[in-house]
């Protein structure tokens, strides 16, 4: 029977390959052999004899089981058919393969959160200098820390992401109207896949160049940068009946980003307020990779590309309260490139990548709130600043962030 099953499977897979169509292939034969080889890993106690005392499981009842709990602890009901426990193992297996592309699709979404942290850092640096005088050809250095937390709703798979970002940089006022600078950032992002289904870690180093131009109440700015993506400990936790197993791997990728913005300040006593507009483009690429195992659940995943083009329109205010300068902002953001994506995947034991399914798709329309505060630290020329950032009405889940930093004239 084993030889016949192997021949049938190889013939079937060869025929499917010739058709060049997407098929979700399962290797149930290998999975059952793994259960036979290690029954305890699946919560089983017997994988050699049937749970039923009848010739066929079709006429088996609770009264004809070899033991009251045999349906939950035996693998086979009769000579060929699985028990309730066996069917649950197979169902969990099938579900894990179908769910995998959407889970792994989150790898291409994570870099977008990293860029937002970098922007919050640079924005905090810029807002800390609004309304303050600065000498030409003088260099300012800064150090900034940002913490971001993104909670995905259960309707979108659940899970969360926590990112810690450090940004170091400096800029110089080149003329009365022009400023230019560069910033280096490093982010450690830890994301879970929801429902205890696994997670991954992303380390990204970024380099960003930026410039701003001011002409009276008008201002404009631009930035461009790139990052190197290092994904570690990508793991899927797969329930298999009463047991579970974990498949893991790693991969790399690249990240490009560019931004332009502009706005206008109205005067109102010691306060400034006005509209602004911003356009942000990002491109995240995740290289194809395979999990490191050799079992029936080990999978390969194809190359991913996530493009994002976000417009931001809002109003902000900044003023003076003694030696402190508070500010607040409300922004409406929309992602025009948040199209459906397909993540391709497949079981390594059935020939690798063979089907594609839709990836996680975040909300493309939401509101963003910012409040912040800056001021001198003691009697020095050092300026400290802090801000809090949060989204609202985001269907896939909202995120919150806190940014703190110091700016030092040199």
| pLDDT of 398 | 87
| pLDDT of 157 | 64
Please state, in angstroms and rounded to a whole number, the distance separating the CA atoms of residues 345 and 96.
Answer: 12
Backbone angles phi, psi at 118, to 5 degrees: -65, -40
Q: How far is CA 347 from CA 247, 280, 286, in A?
A: 12, 37, 19
Is residue 204 a contact partner of residue 230, using CB atoms and an 8 Å limit?
yes
| pLDDT of 156 | 54
| pLDDT of 155 | 60
| pLDDT of 405 | 96
| pLDDT of 402 | 97
Which residue is listed with tokens 């297996």? 93
Q: Which of 185, 174, 188 is nearest to 139 (CA)?
A: 174
Whole-prediction pTM: 0.90
Residues with Cβ within 8 Å of 254's Cβ and at least 6 positions away in sequence, in order, are: 226, 227, 228, 229, 284, 285
Q: What is the pLDDT of residues 231-267, one digit of tens each?
A: 999 999 999 999 999 999 999 999 999 999 999 999 9
For the chain, the maximum distance between any two Cα atoms, rounded to a whole number of angstroms, is 93
| pLDDT of 6 | 72
Is residue 250 a contact partner of residue 229, using CB atoms and an 8 Å limit?
no
Beta-sheet strands, E only, within 295-351: 299-301, 304-318, 325-335, 342-347
| pLDDT of 16 | 74
Q: What does the domain layout of the chain look like in residue ranges?
A: 2-95, 108-409
Please state, in angstroms and rounded to a whole number, the distance separating the CA atoms of residues 315 and 321.
Answer: 20
Please state, in angstroms and rounded to a whole number, the distance separating the CA atoms of residues 86 and 33.
Answer: 12
Average pLDDT by stretches of 10, the chain with 410 residues: 70 76 91 96 96 95 96 95 97 97 93 91 88 81 95 72 96 93 97 89 97 94 97 97 97 98 93 96 98 96 97 96 93 91 95 88 91 90 94 86 94
Does domain 108-409 correspond to CATH entry 3.40.640.10? Answer: no
| pLDDT of 52 | 97
Q: Which of 207, 214, 242, 249 is nearest to 228 (CA)?
A: 207
Please state, in angstroms and rounded to a whole number, the distance separating the CA atoms of residues 114 and 107.
Answer: 12
Beta bridge partners of 228: 205, 254
Please state, in angstroms and rounded to a whole number, the distance separating the CA atoms of residues 230 and 245.
Answer: 24
| pLDDT of 144 | 97
Q: Which of 264, 373, 359 is nearest to 324 (CA)?
A: 373
| pLDDT of 285 | 98
């Amino acid at each position: 029977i084993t030889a016949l099953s192997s021949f049938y499977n190889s013939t079937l897979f060869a025929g499917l390959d010739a058709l060049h169509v997407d098929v979700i292939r399962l290797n149930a034969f290998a999975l059952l052999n793994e259960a036979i080889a290690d029954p305890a890993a699946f919560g089983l106690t017997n994988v050699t004899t049937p749970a039923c005392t009848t010739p066929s499981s079709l006429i088996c009842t609770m009264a004809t089981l070899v033991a009251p709990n045999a349906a939950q602890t035996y693998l086979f009901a009769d000579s060929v058919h699985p028990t309730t426990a066996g069917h649950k193992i197979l169902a969990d297996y099938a579900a894990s393969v179908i769910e995998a592309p959407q889970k792994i699709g989150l790898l291409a979404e994570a870099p977008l959160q990293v860029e937002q942290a970098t922007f919050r850092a640079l924005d905090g640096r810029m807002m800390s200098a609004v309304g303050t005088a600065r000498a030409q050809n003088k260099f300012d250095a800064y150090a900034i820390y940002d913490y971001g937390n993104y909670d995905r709703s259960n309707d979108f798979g659940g899970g969360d992401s926590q990112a810690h970002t450090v940004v170091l940089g400096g800029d110089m006022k080149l003329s009365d109207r022009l400023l230019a600078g560069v910033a280096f950032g490093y982010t450690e992002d830890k994301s879970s896949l929801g429902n205890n289904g696994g997670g991954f870690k992303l380390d990204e180093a970024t380099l960003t160049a930026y410039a701003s131009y001011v002409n009276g109440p008008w201002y404009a700015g631009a930035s461009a940068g790139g990052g190197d993506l290092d994904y570690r400990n990508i793991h899927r936790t797969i329930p298999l009946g009463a047991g579970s197993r974990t498949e893991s791997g790693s991969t790399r990728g690249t990240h490009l980003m560019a931004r332009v913005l502009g706005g206008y300040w109205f005067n109102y006593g010691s306060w400034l307020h006005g509209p602004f507009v911003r356009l942000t483009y990002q491109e995240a690429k995740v290289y194809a990779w395979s999990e490191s195992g050799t079992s029936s659940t080990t999978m390969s995943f194809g190359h991913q590309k996530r493009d994002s083009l976000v417009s931001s329109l809002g109003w902000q205010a900044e003023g003076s309260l003694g030696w402190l300068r508070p500010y607040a902002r409300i922004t409406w953001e929309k992602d025009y490139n948040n199209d459906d994506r397909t993540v391709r995947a497949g079981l390594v034991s059935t020939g690798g990548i063979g089907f594609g399914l839709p990836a996680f798709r975040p909300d493309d329309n939401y509101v963003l709130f910012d409040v912040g505060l800056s001021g001198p630290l003691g009697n020095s020329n050092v300026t400290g600043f802090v801000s809090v950032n949060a989204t609202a009405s985001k269907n896939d889940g909202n995120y919150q962030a806190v940014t703190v930093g110091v700016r030092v004239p040199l």
